[in-house]
Amino acid sequence: MPSKREYVILQEGQILRRDVTEQPVEISSSALNAMANLVPRKLPGIFAIPNWGVANLAVDGANYSYLTIKIPRLTIKAHYRLIDEGESRILVPDFSNQDNASLLSLEWEPEFPLRVLIQCWNEGGTWRTYSVYLFAYDNRGSTYRLPLPNLHDDCKVCTGVGGAGESAATMFDLAVKSINRLSSSAWNADLWKDREKSWMMFRWTSKEDGHRQLAPAASWTNLSVKVSVHAHNFAIIHE
């Protein structure tokens, strides 16, 4: 059996000797196939969605595919209310208000280094959405759950907003339908965890020709929750 000897110098100056023995291991083909199924095959930049961005694809060995798009904006269709901030009044989403007669759609644009991804998990061969995820990440690749309602702890979007179960004839059509569903659906108080952080993150001020987005009142990483998201293993970040 092949063996090798290594010497390791620790930071405090101590020297260790490490003897390593190597030998081949017999692994069945079924075990190899099972391990291969866990490794995503990533295909960046498969097509561009006008006014949105580039779609990236990953597939696994379990007959699922994962479309990921870094979106430049998020339309938040909800009720809004004015709150006092010093001598100013700012507009914030009031997700707990369920009066459908006064919904307002405002666009929120993430500012670098914050990026926001939408990811559609699709059943292989059918172009049918299994589930939709929405998560943020920073320039170190860490993943965050935004302070929004309708998001589970793993960043999966509730069915009514995310559009799980949508189907289409092509991969492109499915991506467009998922984005349009997210943009047009009304957000509500389901899974709304922290009202104050939502109001500190998503803020606008009124002006003559509409509304102007304000910067978060605190660091977005402090307002969001850092999570370990399985979906991120299949994400492709295409700048």
In a domain, 144, yes or no: yes
Measured distance between the N- and C-terminal CA atoms of the chain, rounded to whole angstroms? 48
**pLDDT at residue 5, rounded to an integer:** 85
**pLDDT at residue 166, rounded to an integer:** 74
- Name the pLDDT band for 238 (thresholds 50, 70, 90): low
In a domain, 35, yes or no: no
In a domain, 36, yes or no: no
In a domain, 162, yes or no: yes
In a domain, 123, yes or no: yes
Number of domains in the chain: 1
Mean pLDDT computed over every residue of the chain: 85
What's this model's pTM, rounded to 2 decimal places? 0.79
Quote the strand ranges of the chain, DSSP E.
3-9, 15-21, 41-49, 53-59, 64-70, 74-78, 80-85, 88-93, 104-108, 115-123, 128-137, 143-145, 204-207, 210-213, 225-227
* pLDDT at residue 215 is higher than 60: yes
pLDDT tens digits, 119-175: 988 876 677 888 899 999 888 888 999 999 999 999 999 866 555 667 888 889 988
pLDDT tens digits, 84-131: 988 889 999 999 887 767 789 999 999 988 999 999 888 766 778 888
Q: What is the largest distance, in Å, between two alpha-carbon atoms of the chain? A: 79
* pLDDT at residue 37 is higher than 70: no
Gap between the Cα atoms of 142 and 67, Å rounded: 19
In a domain, 226, yes or no: yes
In a domain, 68, yes or no: yes
User: By residue range, what is the domain housing residue 125?
Assistant: 42-234
In a domain, 84, yes or no: yes
